[in-house]
Chain A
Amino acid sequence: MTQRLWALFRKELRTLFASPIAYVVLTAFVALSGIYFFQHLLAYNRLLFVFQSEAISGGGFDAGTIPLQVNSLNELFIPASNDLSLFLLAVLPLVTMRVFAEERAQGTDELLLTTSLRPWELALAKHLTTYLFVFLMLAVSAIYPAAVVAKSRLGMEHLLALYVGHLGYGMAVAAIGLACSSLTQSQIVAAVLAYAIPFVIIDFTWLQPVLSEGLADILSQLALQAHFDSFARGVIELRRGLYFGGMIVLGYTVSVGSLEFARAR
């Protein structure tokens, strides 16, 4: 990392954590993911208890009486991870909305972009800082599932796949938010766009009735949620990673392009 990029990265971190929104978002995300995880854990335990009770009342305890589909993956990790992806969608625009828009509104971009700093360096520092924040959010939220994994039959590698998926998903959603923030100096507009775009692309099945089969098929390949679901099942697929990587590159390209475009306005 170049000296300038490192300096910018530290500046972005300082700015991010000087704002209460980072702490509010982090706290809300960890609290919500924790509460919902324990709700699912409780429901899963109840379900196990019901099956076990029936087995006991039927004449004796037998673990085999619990149906195969009732397992920690289906009853706990997949629903909890779906919740987590929704929480990411809900809170990330609050983090990304200010990243470029605030700089532009306060005019500090003028200060930075007249110091021989390249627009790609500025955009890269902002993107990396936001991705680090996404990583931090997920790392803290991983404590509860990690504790359960240690006690369950699910392997740690499954949890890893799940969180690799979350990280890719979170970074893709953040990249969309950052691209939106780079297009405007209004944080409100940036937030509205950052909610609207993932909301539209999360799932295209609602368009199927009005589209031809071929087009609906193509769109379904572009849906955000579909790419996350395989990670939730514990499978890391290269094409899913490429999809999230593509979103990140697209978001970054839009950010750099908007900085260059502003110069030529």
Chain B
Amino acid sequence: MGAKIEAKEVTKRFGEHIALSTLTLEIAPGEVFGIIGPNGAGKTTFLRILTGYWLPSTGDVFVDGTSVVHDRFAVQRRLGYVCEQPKLYHDHGVRTFLRLMGELRGLKRDALDEAVERAIVRFGLQEVQRRRIGVLSKGFRQRVSLAQALLHDPPLLVIDEPTVGLDPRQQIELRRMIQSLGSRHTVLLCTHQLLEAEVCCDRVALLDRGKLVQIATAEEVRSGGSLEELFLAQTHQPEERQ
């Protein structure tokens, strides 16, 4: 079963600029929840706050009731994070890297061996497990990134722009993987790809200029036309540069 997320009045300021403004939302356990929005909407900012990488300026996020502001390490133990553009150690082999991430997440010997084996099989990494990450294709790197995030079987999986740079076949494969993760894990998916959000998510939150514009279920999106129409209707058009 997944984790419950509650964001309460989360604001993030960088000097005068407000990247995220009083965001409040709730995500149910086992839900695949999408966050969409144009560039600069505050999507990645929210993920970085949720994962404890950044502190919010005000407000808080709770994962199963644990505050990320007051006990970020407890929250981090309950989540797996796939960063935008997989951030991996290119000089590490796939297996070595997975073992490292497992050890950092506190997995002990037998559990670690088992988790690494399971992740390698689950994400189809058998043929590349001895290769250096630096020589892998983007698709394989994304799989490695997903595998490391799920090593400790966290109730919450946070994924930022997973299909950027992937070819259509890799995108389809990855979407299927994400869909299969729902129910067992709560999945928070942040994406630019409207189709991806439409296909994978139970509900979608639309952010624009740091503010939550709308939350819609998959049914609501379908009955109202498409996510594309919702997106165009609710988000601002970036001003053309002079």
Contact = CB atoms under 8 A, between A and B. Distances in A.
Helix, strand, loop or mixed for chain A's interface? helix
B103 A15 contact: no
Contacts of B81: 110-111, 114
Contacts of A107: 83, 85, 87
A7 interface: yes
Interface in A112-129: 112-118
Interface in B197-217: none
Given A8-B104, A11-B100, A114-B53, A108 B87 contact: yes
Nearest to B105: A115
A264 B48 CA distance: 11
A118 B73 CA distance: 8
B90 to A, nearest CB: 9
Contact of B106 (A112, A116, A264): A116
B76 A115 contact: yes
B146 interface: no
B123 interface: no
Nearest to B72: A116
Contacts of A265: 14, 54
A213 B133 CA distance: 59
Contacts of A118: 73
Interface residues of B, number: 30
Contacts, number: 70
A212 interface: no
Contacts of A116: 72-74, 76-77, 104-106
Given A15-B89, A263-B54, A7 B103 contact: yes
Given A114-B53, A115-B76, A264-B55, A14 B91 contact: yes
Interface in A1-15: 3-4, 6-8, 10-11, 14-15
Contacts of A263: 52-55
Contacts of B92: 11, 14
Given A114-B51, A114-B81, A116-B77, A3 B108 contact: yes
Given A15-B91, A114-B53, A3 B83 contact: no
Most buried by B among A11, A114, A118, A263: A114
A106 interface: yes
A18 interface: yes
Nearest to B109: A3
A106 B77 contact: no
Contacts of B87: 106-108, 110-111
A56 B188 CA distance: 90
B89 A11 contact: yes
Interface string B36-69: 0000000000001001111100000000000000
B238 to A, nearest CB: 25
B164 interface: no
Contacts of A6: 103
Given A4-B106, A108-B87, A113 B55 contact: no
A70 B203 CA distance: 85
Contact of A18 (B79, B83, B91, B100): B91
Pick the most buried of B79, B91, B96, B108: most chain A CB atoms within 10 A of its CB: B91
**Which 3 pairs of residues, A with B, have the shortest CB-CB distance?**
A7-B103, A18-B91, A116-B76
13 contacts: A4-B104, A106-B87, A107-B83, A108-B87, A108-B88, A114-B51, A115-B76, A116-B74, A116-B105, A117-B104, A118-B73, A263-B52, A265-B14
Interface of A: 3-4, 6-8, 10-11, 14-15, 18-19, 106-108, 110-118, 263-265
Given A7-B103, A111-B87, 9 more contacts: A6-B103, A14-B96, A18-B91, A107-B87, A111-B83, A111-B88, A116-B105, A265-B14, A265-B54
